[in-house]
Chain A
Amino acid sequence: MAVLLALTAPVMPSAVAQEFRLAMSSPPTSMDPHFYNLFPNINVSDHIFEQLVAMDADSHIIPALAESWKLVNNLTWEFKLRKGVKFHDGTPLTAEDVAWSLERPATIVGSPGKFDTYTKAIVDKKIIDPYTIQLTTKEPYPLLLADLTSIYIVSKKATQGLSSDDFSSGKGMVGTGPFKFVKFQRDDRIELERNNDYWGKKPAWTKVTLRFIPNDATRLAALLAGDVQAIENVPTPDLAKVRADKDLSFYSKVSHRVIYLYPDTRREKSPFVTDKDGKPLDKNPLMDQRVRRALSIAINRDAIRDRIMEGLSEPTLNLVPAALFGHNPDLKPPKYDVDAAKKLLAEAGYPNGFGLTLHTPNNRYINDEKIAQTIAQMWSRIGVATKVEGAPMSVYAARGAKSEYSIGLLGWGAQTGEASSPLRAMVACDNPAKGMGAVNWLKYCNPKMDAVLTKALASVDDKERSALLQQATAIVIEDGGVIPIHQQVTTWATKKGIVYIPRTDERTHAYGFYPQ
């Protein structure tokens, strides 16, 4: 008996260490990877399914199921699939599955956010051989690769004829990813096991449980109590405590999400711009570029980072962080300067300032309403008497989309990994037919910027496109079409001895964690 114990004892610790429990902050709504383009859903899909091309931790595109790709001509892309990749049920991956997976998103019913946003540019798919597929777009389309990072490849055999509901039971959960699906308990947990036939780097854990704990304090308590070994989104009020705790490790990274203000630059009479006594003004001061610049340099972004964000934000005047495509290094956060701001206001004809209401969501971004309150105080210092009105995102967005504000706070994550994403959504002239300006709620429009952006969106030459995106960003920022404040920083905490590779796209992957 003693001999037996002695023999098994050294094996035990590693066997225990291979089980990993991770707490996420929001539960997925469906297991179907093509059902709903929603962050928690994508986060889970990433464990079981893979794409043709993927984003690395810095949002750069890397090969995944496609080993290589090339442009056959301006419109046609050819992808060579990785050989020897097997689905979780043992069948090999072929071009047939890829074609099926690119068609399926458009056929999903009842989805509030379909993935066909990313497949509709493809007008033709041609299977050359089991390991080669050609995709054709109608116009030169440089974003194809970025779009493909959002489309998960599922097994045609396993998912044919399945509805999205069927996936929750595990039927159809047949991917090629590092983990196999075991069990889904809605709102509570997902259990996974390691895919031992995985073609890439195998994860360190044989068994993984993803727990869903939306309450910040409870999530942290679960980590402290050892119920889970890692959590995402460390609550800001507890940051100092987590950093000081010797049993925990803390990880953070600048994310692709920019927090910005959008002023009303178009309407002569804006609903929430008044004089200092609250009477409506004849002319909207926000239409004057000098006023917008004054508002921007009157924001002490460093103070917001240090006092409100506990050091976890990166002040910026760009729309994407430095690692991303289209970041313009010439646009540095402006120097905080009350006097210069006052002078600009006086030049514009408002030596005594005016009154303004800043609208903000209060449950969407890290410290959203607190940031707005701070900015309001800073503006009051230059004579712009600012009130803040916060509302939950559901209420805020409904009114915002109807252009009911004069200036508001919002955040945008550059999902495609380049500046074209925020430019297209936030500041391009409102053009539903072309899908431009989807969150351009106050209808900012600058034809000069639009022309440059349109050119960039049609350029498959990376170098040229990067230069054009930088130029477009410079135009809109100098004009004050939007006022960026900072890039949000995403946080993770683990038990000591577990390492995480933090990601720009805010996602949390169990296979990104390793024992030291």
Chain B
Amino acid sequence: MLAFIIRRVLQSLVVLLVMSLLVFIGVYAIGNPIDVLISPDADQIERAKVIVAFGLDKPLWLQYFIFLKHAVGGDLGRSFAYSTPALSLIFERMPATLELSTAAILLSIVLGLPLGLLAGLRPNGIVGKTIMAVSILGFSLPTFWVGLMLIMVFAVQLGWLPTSGRGETQLLLGVPVSFLSWDGLKHLLMPAFNLALFNIALVIRLTRSGAQEALMQDYVKFARAKGLRNSRIIGVHVLKNILIPIVTVVALQFGSIIAFSIVTETVFAWPGMGKLIIDSIRVLDRPVIVAYLLLIVTIFIVINLAVDMLYSLLDPRVRLAESKG
């Protein structure tokens, strides 16, 4: 187990290094941040001063080398636009995004699993067919459109929920969270549902096909023959066996939700990391873009590691040491 983790960490470092190089070159190729960042009234001399102050006058390889040198010490540079360390800018917004993503994942499990099971147990009933039909919508409707429709219906027409923003926050262990107050919950509901929609559909489909397959297996038939209650058969025998693919997919989706909550955050003016990256790309705030992407890669790496470990818990036959492939 330990050797496995050490090997994974080393691999991850290489991935991070390659990633940082790619991002650095990519952002460099887009253009010069100075032309968008600097106030239009500034003259050429000031422009030149800012270029030197930000180190943009140096050749690319030197800029990258300086970046690496600082990065080893945990310093990913200062944002051009905010003049705050890029990492702390991202961490400042992280609670908002994590809260939104967690809520979305919870929603997709809480809604997706039972609905999927229902559809799997009664594949030919009206309920099952309806669930499947609705889940197709979850896959195919564009997120921003659904977001705007939610706002139009629940905020503008019905007036039940606020249109956008994060609402009241409270400190929980020093982290500002909004799910502890009614006002905060009201603000959280729509964006979380919007973000969850795709995943609800995904979980429904996975659960349904898994359940259908499991129901045909001998161990279920044997359990039936033994006279076990239906709820126990489904709740323990079926569910436990179909959870592995679902855990994998949901965990990987958690990473994507964090990384790509951009659309939802933009539509709902949710002050999270997704909005930050969009703003930063617009003004080519290079340190923030690089730091953000590296952070996302790290998150994916950690999640993958966690998934592998979860596997071995759910299914003792999976041994981590063997997964060197």
Q: How far is the CA of A401 from the CA of B47 in the complex (A)?
A: 12
Check B227 for interface membership: any CB of A closer than 8 A: no
Instruction: Decide: A111 and B46 in contact? CB cutoff 8 A.
Output: no
Check B195 for interface membership: any CB of A closer than 8 A: no
Which of A165, A224, A227 lies in contact with B83, CB distance below 8 A?
A165
Instruction: Decide: A393 and B36 in contact? CB cutoff 8 A.
Output: yes
Q: How far is the CA of A188 from the CA of B279 in the complex (A)?
A: 13
Which of A188, A413, A439 lies in contact with B165, CB distance below 8 A?
A188
Task: Please tell me the number of chain A residues within 8 Å of chain B, measured between CB atoms.
Answer: 59
Check A425 for interface membership: any CB of B closer than 8 A: yes
Instruction: Decide: A435 and B83 in contact? CB cutoff 8 A.
Output: no
Q: Known contacts A117-B43, A392-B282, A438-B44: does B275 contact A187 (CB below 8 Å)?
A: yes
Instruction: Decide: B151 and A218 in contact? CB cutoff 8 A.
Output: yes
Which one of B3-11, B154-162, B231-239, B306-314 is at the A interface?
Answer: B154-162
Interface string of A407-421 (1 = CB under 8 A from B): 000001101000001
Residue of A nearest to B154 (CB): A225
Q: How far is the CA of A111 from the CA of B34 in the complex (A)?
A: 11
Check A395 for interface membership: any CB of B closer than 8 A: yes
Instruction: Give the chain A neighbours of B30 by CB distance below 8 A.
Output: 394-395, 398
Check B217 for interface membership: any CB of A closer than 8 A: no
Q: How many A-B pairs with Cβ below 8 Å?
A: 163
Q: How far is the CA of A218 from the CA of B265 in the complex (A)?
A: 11
Q: How far is the CA of A164 from the CA of B78 in the complex (A)?
A: 13
Instruction: Give the chain B neighbours of A413 by CB distance below 8 A.
Output: 40
Check B81 for interface membership: any CB of A closer than 8 A: yes
Check A397 for interface membership: any CB of B closer than 8 A: yes
Instruction: Decide: B271 and A188 in contact? CB cutoff 8 A.
Output: yes
Instruction: Give the chain A neighbours of B268 by CB distance below 8 A.
Output: 218
Instruction: Decide: A112 and B37 in contact? CB cutoff 8 A.
Output: yes
Chain A proximity of B222: nearest CB distance (Å): 55
Interface string of A135-156 (1 = CB under 8 A from B): 0000000000000000000000
Instruction: Decide: B162 and A438 in contact? CB cutoff 8 A.
Output: no
Instruction: Give the chain A neighbours of B35 by CB distance below 8 A.
Output: 394, 397-398, 400-401
Instruction: Decide: B40 and A435 in contact? CB cutoff 8 A.
Output: no
Which of A29, A114, A186 lies in contact with B271, CB distance below 8 A?
A186
Q: How far is the CA of A111 from the CA of B35 in the complex (A)?
A: 14
Q: How far is the CA of A224 from the CA of B45 in the complex (A)?
A: 47
Check B209 for interface membership: any CB of A closer than 8 A: no
Instruction: Decide: B271 and A217 in contact? CB cutoff 8 A.
Output: no
Check A181 for interface membership: any CB of B closer than 8 A: no
Chain A proximity of B129: nearest CB distance (Å): 34
Q: How far is the CA of A186 from the CA of B166 in the complex (A)?
A: 11
Instruction: Decide: A37 and B39 in contact? CB cutoff 8 A.
Output: yes
Check B38 for interface membership: any CB of A closer than 8 A: yes
Instruction: Give the chain A neighbours of B92 by CB distance below 8 A.
Output: 186
Instruction: Decide: B32 and A227 in contact? CB cutoff 8 A.
Output: no
Check B102 for interface membership: any CB of A closer than 8 A: no
Check A222 for interface membership: any CB of B closer than 8 A: yes
Chain A proximity of B85: nearest CB distance (Å): 9
Residue of A nearest to B85 (CB): A165
Instruction: Decide: B276 and A399 in contact? CB cutoff 8 A.
Output: no
Chain A proximity of B174: nearest CB distance (Å): 15
Q: How far is the CA of A79 from the CA of B295 in the complex (A)?
A: 52
Most buried by B among A186, A215, A438: A215
Near B by CB (< 8 A), chain A positions 290-346 give: none
Instruction: Give the chain A neighbours of B47 by CB distance below 8 A.
Output: 438
Instruction: Give the chain B neighbours of A53 by CB distance below 8 A.
Output: none
Check B33 for interface membership: any CB of A closer than 8 A: yes
Chain B proximity of A29: nearest CB distance (Å): 5
Which of A117, A186, A211, A221 lies in contact with B39, CB distance below 8 A?
A117
Chain A proximity of B97: nearest CB distance (Å): 12
Instruction: Decide: B155 and A225 in contact? CB cutoff 8 A.
Output: yes
Instruction: Give the chain A neighbours of B266 by CB distance below 8 A.
Output: 214-215
Q: How far is the CA of A109 from the CA of B80 in the complex (A)?
A: 11
Q: How far is the CA of A398 from the CA of B37 in the complex (A)?
A: 11
Instruction: Give the chain B neighbours of A415 by CB distance below 8 A.
Output: 40-41
Near A by CB (< 8 A), chain B positions 142-163 give: 148, 151-152, 155-156, 159, 162-163
Instruction: Give the chain B neighbours of A10 by CB distance below 8 A.
Output: none
Q: How far is the CA of A224 from the CA of B159 in the complex (A)?
A: 10
Check A363 for interface membership: any CB of B closer than 8 A: yes
Instruction: Decide: A221 and B269 in contact? CB cutoff 8 A.
Output: no
Residue of B nearest to A189 (CB): B165
Instruction: Decide: B164 and A227 in contact? CB cutoff 8 A.
Output: yes
Instruction: Decide: B39 and A113 in contact? CB cutoff 8 A.
Output: yes
Instruction: Give the chain A neighbours of B159 by CB distance below 8 A.
Output: 225-226
Chain B proximity of A242: nearest CB distance (Å): 13
Instruction: Decide: B40 and A112 in contact? CB cutoff 8 A.
Output: no
Which of B41, B267, B281 lies in contact with A37, CB distance below 8 A?
B41
Which of B36, B46, B162 lies in contact with A227, CB distance below 8 A?
B162
Instruction: Decide: A394 and B81 in contact? CB cutoff 8 A.
Output: no
Which of B54, B81, B156 lies in contact with A36, CB distance below 8 A?
B81
Instruction: Decide: A35 and B282 in contact? CB cutoff 8 A.
Output: no
Residue of A nearest to B50 (CB): A112
Instruction: Give the chain A neighbours of B82 by CB distance below 8 A.
Output: 29-30
Most buried by B among A110, A218, A224: A218
Q: How far is the CA of A226 from the CA of B160 in the complex (A)?
A: 11
Check A432 for interface membership: any CB of B closer than 8 A: yes
Instruction: Decide: A435 and B45 in contact? CB cutoff 8 A.
Output: yes
Residue of B nearest to A163 (CB): B83
Instruction: Give the chain B neighbours of A214 by CB distance below 8 A.
Output: 266, 269, 275, 279
Instruction: Give the chain A neighbours of B32 by CB distance below 8 A.
Output: 397-398, 401
Check A213 for interface membership: any CB of B closer than 8 A: yes
Q: Known contacts A218-B151, A218-B269, A393-B36: does B45 contact A432 (CB below 8 Å)?
A: yes
Q: How far is the CA of A213 from the CA of B151 in the complex (A)?
A: 14
Q: How far is the CA of A225 from the CA of B275 in the complex (A)?
A: 23
Instruction: Decide: B269 and A215 in contact? CB cutoff 8 A.
Output: yes
Instruction: Give the chain A neighbours of B93 by CB distance below 8 A.
Output: 186-187
Check A38 for interface membership: any CB of B closer than 8 A: yes
Instruction: Give the chain B neighbours of A118 by CB distance below 8 A.
Output: 41
What are the nearest 7 A-B pairs in CB distance?
A398-B31, A435-B43, A113-B39, A432-B44, A37-B39, A397-B35, A110-B83
* Sample (24) of A-B pairs whose CB atoms are under 8 Å apart: A29-B81, A29-B82, A30-B83, A38-B81, A111-B50, A111-B83, A112-B37, A117-B39, A187-B276, A188-B166, A211-B164, A215-B164, A217-B148, A218-B269, A221-B156, A225-B159, A227-B165, A363-B282, A394-B35, A394-B284, A397-B32, A398-B35, A399-B31, A432-B44
**Known contacts A218-B163, A222-B155; can you find 4 more A-B pairs with CB under 8 A?**
A35-B83, A112-B38, A189-B165, A435-B43
